[in-house]
């Protein structure tokens, strides 16, 4: 028996529906794994940015203290270290709060973390170099800057450990 040219052409052309569905399923699985990994990497990046921010803010407050011989007023920390002080010294460059493209975001009286929450700044009001952190422990520093990432098991990020 000879096969007709038509039947041999039909067998040789294109992919079967099963083959296409298998390829689509494999691509979907790989894309799902890629998105999960990317989400984790973005979150790690935000945590690293927050660690950097708390250290920069704490350093700026300490630089202010060295320049003026005192800590900034509690209600005026952001303005004082971003240039609104008697000498006009900018101790910390901060972007406007509506800009979320990296860097420390500042409003008029607050600094905002990468998740949009506030950085908590605690100053040593009585100048005994002892400040109580949110962990309840007393730390031998003049300023504590901290934030907590969103999530049930999130650990606070602070300039003191």
Q: What CATH number does the domain containing 58 carry?
A: 3.30.700
**Is 114 within the bounds of a domain?**
yes
Q: What pLDDT, on a 0 to 100 scale, did the predictor assign at position 2?
A: 55
CA distances from 151 to 8, 29, 128, 131, 156 (A): 60, 26, 34, 26, 11
**Is 73 within the bounds of a domain?**
yes
Q: What pLDDT, on a 0 to 100 scale, did the predictor assign at position 109?
A: 84
Q: What pLDDT, on a 0 to 100 scale, did the predictor assign at position 105?
A: 72
Mean pLDDT of 63-76: 93
Q: What is the mean pLDDT of the chain?
A: 86
Q: What angle do CA 146, 43, 96 make, to 5 degrees?
A: 60
Least confident of 32-36, 73-77, 98-102, 120-124: 98-102
**Is 1 within the bounds of a domain?**
no
Q: For residues 70 and 158, give the distance between their C-alpha atoms in angstroms, rounded to a whole number.
A: 22
Q: For residues 82 and 109, give the distance between their C-alpha atoms in angstroms, rounded to a whole number.
A: 11
**What domain count does the chain have?**
1
Instruction: Give the domain extent around 87.
Output: 17-158
**Is 12 within the bounds of a domain?**
no
Sign, CA torsion 98/55/127/64? negative
**Is 143 within the bounds of a domain?**
yes
* pLDDT over threshold 60, residue 74: yes
Q: What pLDDT, on a 0 to 100 scale, did the predictor assign at position 41?
A: 92
**Is 34 within the bounds of a domain?**
yes
Q: What pLDDT, on a 0 to 100 scale, did the predictor assign at position 133?
A: 86
């Amino acid at each position: 028996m000879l096969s007709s040219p038509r039947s041999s052409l039909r067998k040789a052309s294109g992919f079967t529906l099963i083959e296409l569905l298998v390829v689509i399923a494999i691509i979907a699985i790989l894309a799902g794994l890629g998105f999960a990994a990317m989400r984790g990497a973005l979150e790690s990046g935000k945590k690293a940015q927050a660690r950097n921010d708390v250290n920069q803010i704490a350093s700026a407050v300490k630089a202010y203290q060295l320049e003026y011989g005192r800590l900034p007023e509690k209600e005026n920390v952001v303005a004082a270290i971003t240039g609104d002080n008697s000498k006009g010294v900018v101790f910390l460059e901060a972007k406007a709060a509506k800009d979320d493209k990296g860097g420390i975001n500042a409003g008029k009286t607050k600094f905002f973390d990468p998740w949009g929450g506030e950085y908590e700044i605690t100053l040593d009001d009585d100048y005994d170099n002892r400040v109580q952190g949110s962990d309840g422990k007393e730390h031998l520093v003049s300023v504590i800057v901290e934030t907590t990432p969103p999530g049930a098991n999130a650990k606070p990020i602070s300039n003191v450990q």
